[in-house]
């Protein structure tokens, strides 16, 4: 069974590699974002007159952003495919597969993300090294980041599948995705580490799943601590279990609404 | 006059067809308002750490956001096809516009309305009233600056979309160029180093859609307004010339479509 999902993942990864121009377009986006934010953080640190903001140096802040952007720019867009399949009725032929449809899409999404992570990581690291000429993080941090980022992308894929499945109830799923995406931007800590948030907000967002997708992997890289990594993996595993259960539940309900036309 | 009738005719027709699916329309517009509002979160947190950023306070950055969002919204409400020009050229979809008596560029630009863009425009207006303070009294100036910002966005989109006449599949390239314009446009220009600032006044005219208009709402200067008019007019004229020039190289596709 697992073998089936792994081969879906590998096939999707190979497919992504064929569309190199799209991969390059995403890398250009990475360069653009990093250029803007490097300039912004340079100015912010200069204006503040401090060498650290809430424990983050300029180099750590910029590398933190490179890591969160690596994940977000590699994240799942599978909800578009699912939404379209529900609307057009293409879902019918995928049901004949010997795999669960939502988990097939999770594997598909992870396969799409894998080559992007690699490219975005190399691009981000390249831009920051050239622009900043300072390195942050550590080798253990990088290894832990790769593991935590893989779990983050699995969590993200489950949420994206859940958003895609809402197409059974609402016509257009993109606005739901925009809101999820912006939750990653804000309470997920895409642009700013959670330590910079006001105290009460910080306490509240640490309970939410979004920080496990962006903040936690990036912090793992720039400030490697074994305890923090263990806490992160436990939190990610709990949310992965929760969202996998929710996906199964929603899929069971959605199947009752499924109408397959002939043709 | 004929062009104005075409634009207003398409505007009301597009709005009516959007209203036919009111739920989807509202969901997209409200989704976009929430989407934009969350972007302000970043600035709010950053300004808890800093009093100001090279002369820009939180309220001033919000006004900058308001101008760009309102201009971007207007551009996509009235000229919803501007960002799709490269795809239209490559797929040979221009045939439809060339066969009709109306000006093909204006006709293709106004024949689509982006529904989510209503969210951008409303967001821009609301943020202006919330953050504008004293500037809130300058609503007519804000509307004019939003209009000029929108014109620059459309002209730039036509310019980069027209690349498809020469390089073929320029969809990604045009998308990236427009993305850069908006990405750089929503940050105060003073945060960038000198060379980048110069680029943002020329190659990617992002300064003209955000920082310059927002600066005018804070500290009005006739010479800066004249510069903005010159940039918007010049870019629109250049976009028109490049499109006409590219049209001579246009090869029709063999796509057969039925349009209602």
In chain B, which residues have their Cβ closer than 8 Å to the Cβ of A73?
A: none
Give the nearest partner residue to B193 out of A39, A179, A183, using CB atoms. A39
Distance from CA of B179 to the nearest CA of A (A): 8
In chain B, which residues have their Cβ closer than 8 Å to the Cβ of A51?
A: none
d(CA B92, CA B99): 13
Q: Do A48 and B50 touch (CB under 8 A)?
A: yes
Q: Residue A8 is encoded by which pair of tokens?
A: 């879906």
Compute CA distances A25 → A120, A149, A163, B164, B175, whole Å: 11, 22, 25, 16, 9
A107 shares contact with chain B (CB less than 8 Å): no
Q: ∠ at Cα A119 (B156, A225), nearest 5°?
A: 120
Could you report the per-residue pLDDT of B12-24, keeping only the tens digit for each?
998 888 888 788 7
Distance from CA of A99 to the nearest CA of B (A): 33
Give A193-196's long-range contacts (Cβ < 8 A, gap of 24+): A193/A54, A193/A56, A193/A61, A193/A64, A193/A218, A193/A219, A195/A54, A195/A55, A195/A56, A196/A53, A196/A54, A196/A56, A196/B45, A196/B46, A196/B48, A196/B49
Q: ∠ at Cα A142 (A136, A143), nearest 5°?
A: 160
Q: Do A191 and B31 touch (CB under 8 A)?
A: no
Q: Which residues of B116-136 are buried (b: 16+ CB within 10 A; e: fewer)?
A: bbbbbbbbbbbbbeebbeebe
d(CA B105, CA B94): 9
Mean pLDDT across B47-66:
89
Which pTM value belongs to this model? 0.81
Give the nearest partner residue to A47 out of B41, B50, B187, using CB atoms. B50
Give the residue extent of every domain in chain B: 2-247
According to the model, what pLDDT value does residue B131 have?
86
Mean pLDDT across B90-97:
86
- Phi and psi angles of residue B85, each rounded to the nearest 5 degrees, phi first: -55, -45
**Which residues are within 8 A (CB) of A34 and not within 5 positions of it... i.e. 6 or more apart?**
A62, A65, A66, A69, A124, A127, A128, A131
Across the A/B interface, how many CB contacts are shorter than 8 Å?
90
Tens-digit pLDDT string for chain A (263 aa)? 788 888 888 888 887 777 776 677 778 878 888 888 888 888 888 888 888 888 899 999 999 999 999 999 888 788 888 888 887 777 777 777 778 888 988 998 898 888 888 888 999 999 999 988 888 888 999 999 999 999 999 999 999 999 999 888 887 788 888 888 888 888 999 888 999 998 889 999 999 999 999 999 999 999 999 999 999 999 999 999 999 999 999 998 888 777 665 54
CB-CB neighbours of B190 under 10 Å: 14
- In this predicted structure, the answer to whether residue B98 has a pLDDT above a threshold of 70 is yes
A43 shares contact with chain B (CB less than 8 Å): yes
Could you report the per-residue pLDDT of B112-131, keeping only the tens digit for each?
998 889 999 999 999 999 88
Q: Do B27 and A192 touch (CB under 8 A)?
A: no
Q: ∠ at Cα A61 (A133, A31), nearest 5°?
A: 60
Nearest CA in chain A to B28: A175
Q: Do B28 and A175 touch (CB under 8 A)?
A: yes
Q: ∠ at Cα B142 (B140, B147), nearest 5°?
A: 95
Give the nearest partner residue to A44 out of B21, B39, B46, using CB atoms. B46
In chain A, which residues have their Cβ closer than 8 Å to the Cβ of B35?
A: 175, 178-179, 181-182
According to the model, what pLDDT value does residue A171 have?
72
What DSSP string runs through B9-55?
HHHHHHHHHHHHTHHHHHHHHHHHHHHHHHHHHHHHHHHHH-S-BTT
Q: Are B136 and B128 in contact (CB under 8 A)?
A: yes
What DSSP string runs through B85-104?
HHHHHHTTTTHHHHTSSS-H
Interface mutation vs chain B, best among A19, A36, A62, most B CBs within 10 Å: A36
């Amino acid at each position: 069974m697992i073998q089936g999902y792994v081969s879906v993942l590998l096939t999707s990864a190979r497919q992504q590699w064929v569309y190199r121009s799209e991969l390059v377009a995403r890398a250009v986006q990475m360069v653009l974002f990093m250029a803007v934010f490097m300039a912004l953080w340079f100015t912010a640190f200069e204006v503040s007159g401090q060498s650290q903001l809430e424990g983050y140096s300029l180099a750590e802040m910029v590398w933190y952003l490179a890591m969160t952007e690596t994940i977000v720019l590699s994240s799942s867009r599978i909800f578009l495919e699912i939404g379209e399949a529900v609307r057009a009725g293409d879902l019918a032929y995928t049901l004949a597969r010997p795999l669960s449809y939502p988990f097939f899409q999770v594997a598909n999404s992870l396969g799409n993300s894998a080559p992007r992570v690699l490219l975005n990581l190399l691009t981000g690291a390249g831009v920051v090294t050239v622009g900043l000429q300072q390195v942050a993080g550590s080798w253990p941090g990088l290894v832990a980041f790769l593991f935590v980022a893989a779990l983050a992308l699995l969590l993200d894929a489950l949420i994206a599948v859940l958003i895609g499945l809402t197409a059974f109830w609402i016509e257009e799923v993109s606005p739901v995705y925009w809101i999820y995406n912006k939750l990653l931007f804000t309470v997920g800590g895409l642009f700013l580490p959670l330590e910079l948030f006001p105290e009460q907000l910080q306490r509240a967002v640490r309970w939410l799943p979004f920080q496990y997708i962006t903040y936690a992997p990036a912090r793992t890289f720039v400030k490697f601590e074994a305890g923090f990594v263990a806490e992160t993996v436990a939190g990610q595993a709990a949310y992965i279990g929760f969202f996998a259960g929710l996906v199964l539940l929603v899929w069971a309900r959605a199947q009752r609404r499924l109408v397959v036309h002939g043709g | 006059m004929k062009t104005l009738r075409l634009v207003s005719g398409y505007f009301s027709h597009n709005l009516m067809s959007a209203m036919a699916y009111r739920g989807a329309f509202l969901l997209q517009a409200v989704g976009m308002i929430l989407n934009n509002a969350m972007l302000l979160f970043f600035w709010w947190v950053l300004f808890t750490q800093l009093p100001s950023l090279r002369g820009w306070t939180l309220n001033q950055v919000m006004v900058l956001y308001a101008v760009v969002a309102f201009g971007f919204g207007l551009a996509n409400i009235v000229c919803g096809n501007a960002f799709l020009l490269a795809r239209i050229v490559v797929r040979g979809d221009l045939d439809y516009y060339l066969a009709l008596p109306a000006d093909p560029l204006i006709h293709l630009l106004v024949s689509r309305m982006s529904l989510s863009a209503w969210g951008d425009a409303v967001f821009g207006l609301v943020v202006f009233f919330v953050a504008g303070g004293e500037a809130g009294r300058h609503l007519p100036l804000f509307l004019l600056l939003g209009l000029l910002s929108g014109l620059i966005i459309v002209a730039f989109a036509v310019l980069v979309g027209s690349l498809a006449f020469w390089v073929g599949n320029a969809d990604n390239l045009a998308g990236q160029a427009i993305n850069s314009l908006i990405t750089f446009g929503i940050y105060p220009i003073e945060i960038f180093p000198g060379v980048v600032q110069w680029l943002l006044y020329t190659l990617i005219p992002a300064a003209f859609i955000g920082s310059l208009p927002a600066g005018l709402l804070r500290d009005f200067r006739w010479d800066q307004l004249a510069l903005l008019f010159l940039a918007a007019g010049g870019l629109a004229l250049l976009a028109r010339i490049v499109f006409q020039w590219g049209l001579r190289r246009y090869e029709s596709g063999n796509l057969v479509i039925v349009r209602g």
